[in-house]
Each structure stands twice: as structure tokens, then as C-alpha cells.
Amino acid sequence: MHAAVVGVYFPDLLVAVVKEIESVANAELWQRVYFAVEELFRHVCKVVGGNALYLRSEKLFAPIPFSIITSAQQFYLYRIMSTGGKTYFNWSGGKDSALALYHTLKAGTLRPDLLLTSVNTAVDRISMHGVRSSLLDMQAASIGLPLQKLQLPEGLGMTEYNDTMRRVVTGLVEKGYTETVFGDIFLEDLRLYREQQLAPVGIRAHFPLWKRDTTELLHEFLDLGFRTVLVCIKSELLDASFAGREIDRDFIKDLPKNVDPCGENGEFHTFVFDGPIFSRPIDFTIGEKVYREYARPKDDADNCAGADDKPQSGMGFWYCDLLPAGDVKYCYEKVK
């Protein structure tokens, strides 16, 4: 059993038609099909704008057998292979997001017109980073892009998280979005997870920083004029003095050998407040430092990066609260 992908030539336009022979719900098979077809289109076609794929010659594709594709994926296959659809950017508020957005805008191939950020509704802060959503709003305003907050309740499990993300992304697809950008650098399992979740609903993920040396990335970040401060650190790897510290050349020298310079393994998270993507710096003051402990996930099914759990010994983090400058109400508000 197989599915055939057939290219049909019309004047200047290539239309991909997927003829299903038999379908199965198998994410791994679908992932292989997706990349195989993408590679095929990359060799045979060139993008000339809009949502159309143009042939290099007027020859027809011969039917090409691939692994099984489900019927629900037939429609999205053409959308994924096409370019020119709308792009949203996964914005965390940190340095990797900022550098990835910088390179995306500079390249010009994709033009993000929306920022998507996960927010913990229990405390109204960016998930994992612990930054107030009011500062997130200030970032988006300075960047000049609309912001959509993905509202996540506290204690959310992985299954519920995936369901929530699927609903939100499906809504974006219905609005014409076909592309998204992440600031991930080298975590293979995380990239695969993102692609497997997004491909079936018609979104193609892009990773402009992928496999770059993290020390070089951090130096480039500073050379470009970006400024960022650490807002969350893993206590077993870094002491409390790193929380609230601005990243500079000395910071790189002071990092322990077992900590990635970009914190790609979750060693620390940051808040970017100035740089070439901003029309003006984000004005804030340093608040309290707070130590918190979280339960280790029982298994991968319970491990949701956007959700907090009840305190338990063994997984501690230092958070540095940032207060929006000029807003009197924050001066008297206790850290949540």
C-alpha cells in the first residue's frame, strides 16, 4: 500500500495532488513523508512568490510512491510545501527569541506579523521565564508586532498542553498562517516534537539559529547591541548571584563549564530589553529574588514545559522579578 504524489502542470503553476490508497494514524510515518516530499519539491521547484510553486521545466512528475499519508493530511501537504503564507513567531521574551527574530527579519524570506507567547494564567507571567506580562506587552509594542498570548493554567499536563496548542495553531491556520519560527539551537528531541505537532495541522517550523555554536551566538548577540538580563536560573547549576545579572563579556567568562553559554539545556532564561529589533528600550527596575522548587515530572507524559507543578525538593530555581519602570502600582506589589 502506498500513496502517490503527482505533479500536474498548468501554465506556470504546479499543483500537488495526494492520492490516498490507505491511511493510518502514524505520526512517525507522516513525518518521513513530509520531509521526503519537501526534499523533492526543493529539487524540482523554485519559489517565485505568492503561494504557487513553479516548475523548472514543463515536464510532468511521474507518480512517486511514498509511505502512507492520512486523508486529513492531504489538504495540508500542499499548504506545507507552499511558501508565502503568513508567519507567526514563537516569542519567549529571551535572547534566543530576539536573535532568531533578528535573523528572520534580516533574511526577509519570512515576514512574521504576529508574536505568540505562552503565559501562566495563575500568575500572569511568561511561562518558565516568570516575567510579568506587562513587560511582555512592552516588548511587543517596541518590536512593532501584534502579540497573542497563549493562556496556560497552572499545573497543566502534557496531554492538555498539546490539545491547547493544537486548538490555537488550528485557529492560526484558518487565518492563513503556514509558517512559524523558533529560537531553538541544538535540542534534537525538542525540534522533532515541534515539527511532529505542527506538520499535521499545516504549519512548517523554521529554526534560523539551528546548530550554530552557542558561544559564537552569544558574542554575536552582544556585538549586535542586544541587552538582556537573567530572570530564571537553575539553582543546581548557578548560584543566586546570577539571577538579575546582565549578560556581558564577563558573564561568559564566569559561566561554569557545565553550563551552555546560551542556556540551551534550560540552565537559565532571560529577558531582552534592548537591541536592533526594538524601536526603544524596555524600561524596568530589578525587583526581589525568589527561590522556588518544583516537582520533577513523573514521566514524559507529565512533562509540560509551559506548566508549573507543586513544590517538591530537588528541582530548584531562582527567579529575579523585573518591575516596569514608571508604574507606581508595581513598586508596592509583592512578588507573586
In order along its 336 residues, the chain shows pLDDT tens digits of: 333 333 333 333 333 433 332 343 444 554 555 555 555 554 444 333 333 332 222 233 333 333 333 333 333 343 334 445 799 999 999 999 999 999 999 998 899 999 999 999 999 999 999 999 999 999 999 999 999 999 999 888 899 999 999 999 999 999 999 999 999 999 999 999 999 999 888 899 999 999 999 999 999 999 999 999 999 999 999 999 999 999 999 999 999 999 999 999 999 999 999 999 999 999 999 999 999 998 765 544 434 344 333 333 458 999 999 999 865 344 334 333
Regarding whether 44 and 101 lie in a shared domain, the answer is no
Residue that has been written with the C-alpha cell 491556520 in this structure: 173
The confidence score (pLDDT) of residue 202 equals: 86
The confidence score (pLDDT) of residue 227 equals: 98
Residue that has been written with the C-alpha cell 516596569 in this structure: 324
Regarding whether 130 and 276 lie in a shared domain, the answer is yes
Regarding whether 280 and 158 lie in a shared domain, the answer is yes
Regarding whether 141 and 63 lie in a shared domain, the answer is no
Distance CA 47, CA 292 (A): 50
How many H-runs (helices) and E-runs (strands) does the chain carry? Answer: 9, 15
Whole domain around residue 235: which residue ranges? 86-331
Residue finishing a domain among 59, 81, 103? 81
Q: What does pTM read for this prediction?
A: 0.72
Could you tell me if residue 110 is inside a domain? yes
Regarding whether 119 and 198 lie in a shared domain, the answer is yes
The confidence score (pLDDT) of residue 38 equals: 53
* Contact status, residue 182 vs residue 194, Cβ threshold 8 Å: yes
Regarding whether 279 and 134 lie in a shared domain, the answer is yes
User: Please, which residues have CB within 8 angstroms of residue 231's CB and are 6 or more apart in sequence?
Assistant: 129, 130, 131, 243, 244, 269, 270, 271, 319, 320, 322
